[in-house]
Amino acid sequence: MTPITRVIDAFVAQLAAISTANGHATDIAHIETEAIQINLRSETPLPLLHVRRLASNVDARAGRGTRKESISLQIEAYLDLKTHGRAGQDALLNDLYNAIYPESQVLLDGLAVTITTGEAEMDDAELGSRILPIYLPVTITYTRTR
């Protein structure tokens, strides 16, 4: 398994821990990582997270056989407006931040990992759609030995 695959799998595992049993406000029904695009139907269980890989980059050699690599991801979260409303959208965004930025530093098999997020985009609950989305860009950077 490549370092990129291990890092993404560990990140998705952090997101999978979002549940009321773990102290979060939201229970995630499903996390999709394989599909390029999500087809939301009326029977699709929500809230749903879609984690999509956008790009990978080797930044530079850090010296002595190590190099810094980064992965750009997009988290797309979808909630049902009637069940969760705007308060649920805010709670899920807070749950995402709490899962992405745990209290302790993330270390994965000797890889020091840094996670940064961009600005979250959310549709307004007043738009009338049945589904409230959250779009959150994430960059994961790690240094690995070649």
Q: What is the pLDDT of residues 39-59, one digit of tens each?
A: 888 888 999 999 999 988 876
pLDDT for the residue 81: 87
Q: What percent of the chain shows pLDDT beyond 90?
A: 43
pLDDT for the residue 137: 97
pLDDT for the residue 59: 66
DSSP tag of 142:
E
pLDDT for the residue 105: 61
pLDDT digits (tens, 9 = 90+) for 64-74: 677 788 899 99
Half-sphere exposure of 111 (CA within 13 A, CB side): 25
pLDDT for the residue 46: 92
pLDDT tier at 143, thresholds 50, 70, 90: confident
Cβ atoms 79, 88 nearer than 8 A: yes
Give the CA angle between residues 48, 137, 54 to the nearest 5°. Answer: 90
Which residues sit opposite 142 in a β-bridge?
A: 69, 113
Q: Are strands 107-108 and 111-117 parallel, antiparallel or unpaired?
A: antiparallel
| Residues near 26 by beta carbon (within 8 Å), at least 6 away in sequence | 18, 19, 20, 47, 84, 88, 91, 92, 95
> What's the predicted TM-score (pTM) here?
0.86
CA distance 81 to 69: 38
pLDDT for the residue 47: 94
pLDDT digits (tens, 9 = 90+) for 75-104: 999 999 888 888 899 999 999 999 998 776
